[in-house]
Amino acid sequence: MTLQLSYLLYLGISIAMTIWVARTLSKNGEVFLVMCFGQNEVLAKSTNHLLVVGFYLINIGFIALRLDGWDAQKAVVSMIPYVGSKVGLSVLVLGAMHFFNMMMIARYGRTVAAWAADNRAAQAEAPLGIPPIPRSYR
Q: Which residues contact 14 (CB under 8 A, 6 or more apart)?
A: 59, 63, 66, 87, 90
Band (pLDDT 50/70/90 cuts) for residue 61 is: very high
Residue 35, SS3 per DSSP: helix
| pLDDT tens readout for residues 95-114 | 888 888 878 877 776 676 67
Percent of the chain with pLDDT over 70: 80
pLDDT at 43: 84
The Cα–Cα gap between 49 and 65 comes to 24
Mean pLDDT of 127-133: 61
pTM: 0.68
